[in-house]
Chains A and B, each alone.
Chain A
Amino acid sequence: MSSVTLSGVEKYYGELRVVHGINLIIELQEFVVLVGPSGCGKSTTLRMIAGLEEISEGTINIENRVVNRVAPKDRDVAMVFQNYALYPHLKVFENIAFGLRIRKEPKEHIEKTVREVSEILGLTPYLDRRPAELSGGQRQRVAMGRAIVRHPKVFLFDEPLSNLDAKLRTQMRAEIKRLHNRLGVTSVYVTHDQVEAMTLADRIVVMNDGIIEQVGTPMELFNNPANMFVAGFIGSPPMNQLDGVITTSATGLHATVGDTSIALPALDNVKAGQAVVVGIRPEHISMSSVDGLSPVPISLDLVEPLGSEALLHATVNGQALIIKAETHGEISHLHQVAEIYAPVDLIKVFDAETGKVLNSAARQS
């Protein structure tokens, strides 16, 4: 059963179209993450689901009810904002209870619900404090508490972790995931951070310039990006993309990158001389010889040690390439790397003109 359905949803600000006919079905209890760069329309889409922005075209359904003309309060959604949106003059208890008081719920019910939710979120010791007396993580928990007490049909998260430092973000990410597993409420989460998207989502919706580029599970998007944008957005570091030209020989299909030849998987939808982009993930690049593969010479620029791994910044005929290598506690050998091997079965080939992948049946929305 679907929980939220967007059908041909568009948003205009005057003449400017910021969301271009989005179609998306979010299943009941699913955790869907809308991810994309700033200005891609993800927050606007979320705000249209919340009712904070009017829908210019199309329809939004929440549990089989069209909500285009329904006031936010009657949509049965709860939203967690980027800057927490806590009332500075109210104590934690009153902040969590705010929505219930507005709806004139009985006092005993408010007391019981707020205490229960506070217990779940570990906020019980802080109920008498004001937001200014809390840490960033505690404030975010209060914001979530305020959403949870309402027992909504859908949780909406608008970049809730972007104001936290890296360590706290990792911690809170896990808490949100645990909370979703426990409560099982349909959640729509907006972020520009692909790591957050990968770790939290049941399904990721990659957006760019107001359109959906691809919808899929985190691993589907990682393994089978539908186009160059998704390939360049998902993964850390993102997929390397080298401009090349298709050449054919007795040994198979190749892409010529400058004066270097890279072996490609078999493709029946390309022809010799066609401009393509060769995509290879940094972690898929091998530095030891692979049977049947010719080495690709590189010019090493920089080695960034990360502990168990290191990032090697290099160029192939002037085109940037990042390699992720295991260090085994030592990086001196990585400074000597002069050639690499790109496993054919892990290479993605994109049409240079359309940006679409040529060797994968990636799922598209």
Chain B
Amino acid sequence: MLMPAIVWFIIFLYKPMYGLQIAFKDYSIFRGVADSPWTGFEHFETLFSNDQFIRAFWNTIKISALNLLFGFPAPIILALMFNEVINATYKKTAQTIVYLPHFISSVIIAGIVITAFSPSVGIVNTVLGWLGIDPIYFLTKPEWFRPIFVGTGIWQEAGFGSIVFLAAIAGVNPSLYESAVVDGASRWQMMWRITIPSILPTIIIMLIIRIGNVMEVSFELIILLYQPATYETADVVNTFVYRQGLQSGRYDFAAAAGLFNAVVAFVLVMVANTLSRRYSRTSLW
């Protein structure tokens, strides 16, 4: 049963690690990975003196921080809300509706977002128009990129992400609630004093995993939504790597940027895991 996953890891994660060495080489596709000459940390020095990379790095951090701040609690809140719904039919229907966006391709999602925020036919500007507000060119204004991107991410993934927390809630011993009911607890008190503390280990594990992916903001959606006018707030390390590596052919430089990204993510997940183990006795390993 494990074989497909192991093969996937080997082909797409472990084997490409061999190519990481080009971050320390003057890579030529004609010489190949092994025969290209070593250059030490030259690409990293260039990277850290590159304004575009510095900007992309901070954009990644800011978008990830917003994602963490708003995107991480969203599925938890949704799961807690679903848990309070008594009518089973209503609950199932609502769950299906919020799970759906997860299964839609990023290209379609981007198309929906572009249409929704269109200054001429978009629903958002139409509503603003009813309120007497002039159309806003949301997708060309840097200050609107991050809220739109983070909001889209929440709409797409909060529902599906809530499944993990719903499963955790389902695992809470029902007699804890019954005991609390006899003691006089309200639903609100039960949520704060029983449900949330009981699913806290799951929340922490998911948070550690999420922190490990902080540097991996949704690359496709950014590529599909950003444009030179919004690079100022939208360009992230992954899109920078894509432009440098694939569009400009600077594979070694792009590999250095990608490696730096991975090292930062690795450090973050190590720190989060250590802190979690120390303070909450819950950790990934």
Q: Are A83 and B194 closer than 8 Å at their CB atoms?
A: no
Q: Are A79 and B182 in contact (CB under 8 A)?
A: yes
Q: Return the CB mask of A67-99 against B: 1 if under 8 Å, else 0.
A: 000001110011101110101111000000011
Range, interface on chain A? 20 to 34
With A52-B178, A85-B173, A85-B178 already in contact, the answer to whether A150 and B183 are too (CB < 8 A) is yes
Residues in A whose Cβ lies below 8 Å from that of B189: 102
| A-binding residues in B (CB < 8 A) | 173, 175-176, 178-185, 189, 193-194, 197-198, 200
List the 9 shortest-distance A-B pairs measured between CB atoms, nearest first: A73-B184, A99-B183, A85-B179, A89-B197, A85-B175, A81-B175, A72-B182, A102-B185, A79-B182
Alpha-carbon distance between A51 and B181 when the two chains are bound, in angstroms: 9
Other 9 A-B pairs with CB < 8 A, given A52-B181, A102-B185: A72-B184, A79-B178, A85-B173, A85-B178, A85-B179, A90-B197, A99-B184, A102-B180, A102-B189
* Contact in complex: A73, B194 (CB < 8 Å): no
* Set B176, B178, B182, B184: member contacting A87, Cβ < 8 A: B176
Contact B175 A50, beta carbon cutoff 8 Å: no
Q: A52 touching B180 by the CB < 8 A rule?
A: no
B181 and chain A: residue at smallest CB distance: A72
Kindly state the separation between the CA atoms of A85 and B183 in the bound complex, as whole angstroms. Answer: 12
A interface residue numbers (CB < 8 A to B) = 50-52, 72-74, 77-79, 81-83, 85, 87-90, 98-99, 102-103, 146, 150
Grouping DSSP codes into helix (H, G, I), strand (E, B) and loop, the B interface class, with mixed when no group exceeds half, is helix
Asked whether, in the complex, the Cβ of A103 is within 8 Å of the Cβ of B184, the reply is yes
Residue ID in chain B nearest A149 by CB atoms: B183
Q: State the Cβ distance, B179 to closest chain A Cβ, in Å.
A: 4
Q: Is the Cβ of B182 less than 8 Å from the Cβ of A98?
A: no
Pick the contact of A89 from B178, B180, B198 — CB < 8 Å?
B198
Q: Which residue of B has the minimal Cβ distance to A47?
A: B178
With A87-B197, A89-B197, A89-B198 given, is the CB distance from A98 to B178 under 8 Å?
no
Known: A98-B183, A99-B183, A102-B183. A81 touches B198 (CB 8 A): no
Cross-chain pairs A/B with CB under 8 angstroms, 6 sampled: A50-B182, A81-B179, A99-B183, A102-B180, A102-B183, A102-B193
A88 to B194, CA, bound (A): 9
Q: Is the CB of A85 within 8 A of B184?
A: no
Given contacts A81-B179, A85-B176, A87-B176, contact A102 B184 (CB under 8 A): yes
Asked whether A51 and B185 contact (CB < 8 A) given A85-B173, A89-B200, the answer is no
Q: Which B residue sits closest to A88, measured CB to CB?
A: B198
